[in-house]
Structure formats: C-alpha cells, structure tokens
Amino acid sequence: MKIEKMLKSISIGKKVLVIGGTGLLGYHTVNHLIENGHFPSVLTLPSDTSKPFPQSVPMHYGNISEMSDSQLQSLMKGYDWLVFSAGGHDTYPLPKDELETLLEEINVVSTKRVMEAGRSAGVTRAVIFGSYFEYFARAWPSLKMAEKHPYIASRIRQSEVAFDLVTDDFGVVVLELPYIWGTMPNREPQWKDLIHTLRGDGKTINYEGGGTIMTSVLHVAEAALGALERGISGHRYPVGDQNVTWTELISKIAEIDGVEREINTLSHDQLMVTAKENQNKLDEAGLVTGINPVSYVQIASANAFFDPEPTRIALGLTSGGLDEAIREQVKMVPIDNN
C-alpha cells in the first residue's frame, strides 16, 4: 500500500510533452493522461491542421528533423515527462543506400536528438513507442531479422541509442507495440487497406496462416502512462492483449459484415511464390524495402504470439475490448471499398 501511494504521489499533475500527439496512438495517450490528472502538450507537424483536443491542451508545431538541438531543448524546458509517438516508419521502396539513410534519420537519429534534448532540458522520464518486431528479433534469433530487414534493424538501433542516454536522472522505456486497433475523430481507419484485403472479393478468401498478437488503442495509452509511472528504465516491454490467428480475424470481420466466408490458408510455398515475384520486381527496379518480402514469409506464416501478462502486471494494464475496437474500425470502412 505504501508503494502504491508513493507511485501516485510522484505522478500527480506531471507536465508531459507528447511528440506525434495528433496521431492515433498519441491522441489516445493525450486523453488518457488528461483523465489521470496530468497536463499533456502536443508537438505536431506544421502542416497538421487537426484540432482534436480541448483548448486547454497546448499545441506546438514543428518538424523535429528541421528543428535545431537548441530549439528542441527550449521546447522541452519545464516538462517532467516525454512520450515519443513519432517516427517508426518502414518507408516505401528506395535504392538501398537511400532507404538505409532515411530509416536511420527517421527512426534513429531523430530519436537520439529528442532524447538528448529532453535530458538536457530536465525531463526525467521518456517513453518510446517501438515495434514488437524487436521482441521477435530476440525471440527468434535463427530468422536473423535485423540482418534481413532494414526497418527492424533501425527499430533495434532506436532503442539502443535511447538507452545509451539513460542516467540516474533520466529514464527511458520502450514499448514494443503490435497490431493496434482503434479509431479517432476525423481520421481514416488505420487498417482500412487490411480490412479490404481480409474481406476479399468473394466468399472464399486466400490468406496466410499463422497470426499475431493484437491490442487496442486504450491499452497502448495505459502502457504509456504505466511506463512513465512504474516502468524500469532501460527496459523494453512487449505490449499486447490477445493472440489472434489470421483465420480468426477474417472470421471476426465477416461476422461484423454479416456475411459468410470460406478461408483457404495458403501454404509457405504458395506465399513464397508471390514474395519472390515481388522481390524480383524490386530487384529489376534497383529498389529495396524496409521489410524484405521473401524473408518476411517466415514471419507472416508464423504465430507471432507472446504472453501479455508480464507486461500487464508490470505496467498496470487492463485487458479486453479488442473485439469492440475491431468492430468499431471495420464499421467505418465501406464494404464496397469506395
């Protein structure tokens, strides 16, 4: 009981800067912080015209890649905590050197600059929204995911450069996030294209086997606050709520749409045919992607599952609500694909 009281006392009324706060995850994190008595502010791009928050939430505009170190540090003065919800891009096909440079800039260099600025400005705790591919790179070493997928390598580097900056006065926690379901006002559903694909054009849907752990935006927001309040600095926390096979997800979407679907699970060899065709097209164009199509088949056809309970306990997360989050998003996507 004494520990619980201490945690509450040290976390009441913190000033929090949420970078990328108008995105899906940032939006729900900001609202969760408000609901729990904190005072979030948002940094978003100058081109962002959305106004999703009450006037009491300060909005700052700037591109962290274009801001100087002194501008970043000045912006973060007076804040207790920092949530980094920007970056994380796997980008589009590019020549190899360009892709690796861009991933390094977006996912690694920007993270390091932001964390350095926060530490210098007196921020005491920071949370980074990372990727669950980091978790599986550790769990499945035989797949050599960092070697084969530049995006995954950049995500691992992102955590490493942030953890290198940890001190007794500045703590950093990384949340390894999976597939996330949820919506926000005036924004297209994040998984619109996936929903169209899983619906298919007829009664029979051909799709890969395996599955993935999933969660809702609520639990990501809870994880962000939990990591700030009680996360161990220098730790990665894989976040999830429910392990779902692709067959189960297709069935859920079909049920929401009120239709019947037959699901034909594609074999590893069948998936490899398409992956090799895509890889050949990239090779002919002299391009690469952040996720290698051929190597990804082993991930896509596997069960990318883990036990969410350890993180749930460590960060004080609730559970449930995934089906409702999926339903809400599916209902926003017209069945006719228009």
Q: Break the chain down into helix, strand, coil percent, rounded to 5.
A: 50, 20, 35
**Per-residue pLDDT at 189:** 87
**Per-residue pLDDT at 210:** 93
CA 181 to chain centre: 11
Q: Are strands 81-84 and 125-131 parallel, antiparallel or unpaired?
A: parallel
Tell me the C-alpha distance between 280 and 286, whole Å: 10
Which residue(s) pair with 236 in the sheet? 174
- In the structure encoding, which two tokens stand for residue 197, read together? 């694909």
Q: Assess whether pLDDT exceeds 50 at residue 247.
A: yes
Q: Assess whether pLDDT exceeds 90 at residue 58.
A: yes
Q: Assess whether pLDDT exceeds 70 at residue 11.
A: no
Percent of the chain topping pLDDT 90: 84
Tell me the C-alpha distance between 31 and 42, whole Å: 11
Q: Assess whether pLDDT exceeds 60 at residue 253.
A: yes
pLDDT band at residue 188 under the 50/70/90 scheme: confident
**Per-residue pLDDT at 89:** 74
What pLDDT digit, counting tens, does each position of 268-305 carry? 999 999 999 999 999 999 999 999 999 999 998 999 99
- In the structure encoding, which two tokens stand for residue 154, read together? 């950049």
> What's the whole-number average pLDDT of the chain?
93
Tell me the C-alpha distance between 21 and 29, whole Å: 8
**Per-residue pLDDT at 6:** 37
Q: Are 161 and 108 in contact (CB under 8 A)?
A: yes
Q: What angle do CA 33, 118, 163 make, to 5 degrees?
A: 95
54-63, 213-222, 309-318: the lowest-pLDDT one: 54-63
Nearest to 73 by CA among 128, 25, 17: 17
Tell me the C-alpha distance between 126 and 119, whole Å: 9
Q: Are strands 211-216 and 242-245 parallel, antiparallel or unpaired?
A: antiparallel
Instruction: Tell me phi and psi for residue 62, to 5 degrees.
Output: 175, 155
Q: Assess whether pLDDT exceeds 60 at residue 155.
A: yes
Q: Assess whether pLDDT exceeds 50 at residue 9.
A: no
Nearest to 325 by CA among 190, 231, 144: 190
What pLDDT digit, counting tens, does each position of 96-144 carry? 999 999 999 999 999 999 999 999 999 999 999 999 999 999 999 999 9
CA distances 261 to 15, 203, 256, 325, Å, are 49, 5, 12, 21
Residues 29-57, mean pLDDT to the nearest whole number? 93
DSSP string, 266-316: EPHHHHHHHHHHHHHHHHHHT-B-SS-HHHHHHHHTSEE----HHHHHHHT
pLDDT band at residue 51 under the 50/70/90 scheme: confident
Which residue(s) pair with 264 in the sheet? 206
**Per-residue pLDDT at 49:** 86
**Per-residue pLDDT at 290:** 95
pLDDT band at residue 1 under the 50/70/90 scheme: very low
What pLDDT digit, counting tens, does each position of 77-91 carry? 999 999 999 877 777
Q: Assess whether pLDDT exceeds 50 at residue 2.
A: no
What pLDDT digit, counting tens, does each position of 194-232 carry? 999 888 877 899 999 999 999 999 999 999 999 999 999
Q: Which helix (H) or strand (E) holds 18?
A: strand 15-19
Residues 308-330, mean pLDDT to the nearest whole number? 97
Tell me the C-alpha distance between 132 and 159, whole Å: 12
Nearest to 320 by CA among 333, 329, 308: 308
- The angle that helices 24-35 and 217-230 make with each other, rounded to 10 degrees, is 60
